[in-house]
Amino acid sequence: MEKRITLADIAEKAGYHPTTISMALRNHPRLPAATTEKIQALAKEMGYRPDPALGALVAYRRNSSPKQQAAPLAYVTYWDTEWGWKTSDAHLTFHEGAVARAEQLGYKVDHFWLGNPDLSHERINEILLTRGIRGLIIASHMPGSDREPSLEWDKFSSVKIDFFPTALHVHTISNDQRSIIQLAFHKALNAGYRRIGCVMPRWWDDYVNHAWSAGLLASQLYLPEEDRIPICLFEGKPLGDQCISTSEFEKWRQEYQPEVIISSAPFVMNAIDTLQLRIPEDFAYIDFFLITTESKTAGVYHNCERVGELAVEILAGQLQQNQIGLPEYPTVTKVEGTWIDGASLPNKVKV
């Protein structure tokens, strides 16, 4: 029997991550058109055919009850504006993943904004019940806002994406920030670096219950004390300018002399460009929040789409089992990141 060509086969030949292949074959709008066309052409050349059994199953789920409306789920956000959370790549992708998975499972996702000045939480609660919505995804709460929604939780099944509101104890789905930064740190170690620095705004660490700093500090235990560089936590603004000042960055860099810096482009690139520093000549660089698997920069892709998908899957399971109300034992599900090789982290280890 002829071997079926898989996404992994195409990824290996194309030199892209399987996630990128999947996105290209679905004409995902976040990929450049040239990349999509290149991958689709290669897939055709290799004889790739979608699995007909899987396609039939999806079609059956979508069409088996054509007269029945999709069951509604609520995607509940609290940002400074109704759609302000869409300016964040992570939060936008959480939502995209949730909407796509909901459609596959026979649900639709309706958005509710808790910051609506014309609707109290009590009124939103009434609307949810009137529309027959029993499943809630609590997501995209603005940094610095920790207000628990005033809803009748005993009438809903609920999950939460990320950690806010902290007082709401429901099943939570999040990126695994601790393992993501540890992955970045150990990739730097394996490449031969020892003085490994990290730059991020303080609010970014606060927002995830200090998971970033916890992972980094734990990883530093692999180094002698003289090589452990203090984290550069600067006072950035969550909804404004997120870049460290040039003077603060350079003072930290000159004092600790990092061989490699772990950060994210919005946090450091303005300072690096202003100082006319070169990567990797002046120091190597790892971006621990890549927004695409196609990046030429070494770093970690967060798989935020999978966070949204899992939120829907876990919520659907609760609804199917009639698990209503706040859980007695809330769980936390973490999604690991995917390492992406790049020229910004050359190998110092002699082979």
For residues 35 and 115, state if they share a domain. no
Contacting residues for 121 by C-beta, under 8 A, at least 6 apart: 114, 149, 150, 151
Region 332-349 average pLDDT: 94
Residue 51, domain member (yes or no): yes
Question: Which residues form the domain of 212?
Answer: 177-302
Predicted confidence at residue 266, as pLDDT, reads 92
For residues 152 and 226, state if they share a domain. no
SS3 string, 11-48, reads: HHHHCCCHHHHHHHHCCCCCCCHHHHHHHHHHHHHHCC
**350 SS3 class:** coil
Label residue 51 by pLDDT band (50, 70, 90): low
For residues 109 and 202, state if they share a domain. no
For residues 40 and 81, state if they share a domain. no
For residues 269 and 245, state if they share a domain. yes
Residue-wise pLDDT tens digits, 195-252: 999 999 999 999 899 999 999 999 999 999 999 999 999 997 776 668 999 999 999 9
**306 SS3 class:** helix
Region 76-88 average pLDDT: 93
Predicted confidence at residue 47, as pLDDT, reads 84
Residue-wise pLDDT tens digits, 89-123: 999 999 999 999 999 999 999 999 999 999 999 99
Label residue 351 by pLDDT band (50, 70, 90): very low
Predicted confidence at residue 65, as pLDDT, reads 47
For residues 54 and 155, state if they share a domain. no
Residue 11, domain member (yes or no): yes
What is the rounded (10 degree) CA torsion for 119, 98, 328, 325?
A: 40
- Number of structural domains the chain divides into: 3
| Structure tokens given for 259 | 């061989």
Residue 65, domain member (yes or no): no
Residue-wise pLDDT tens digits, 146-187: 778 889 999 999 999 998 898 899 999 999 999 999 999 999
Whether the pTM exceeds 0.75: the reply is yes
CA distances (Å), origin 278, targets 61, 273, 275, 281: 53, 8, 9, 5
For residues 157 and 227, state if they share a domain. no
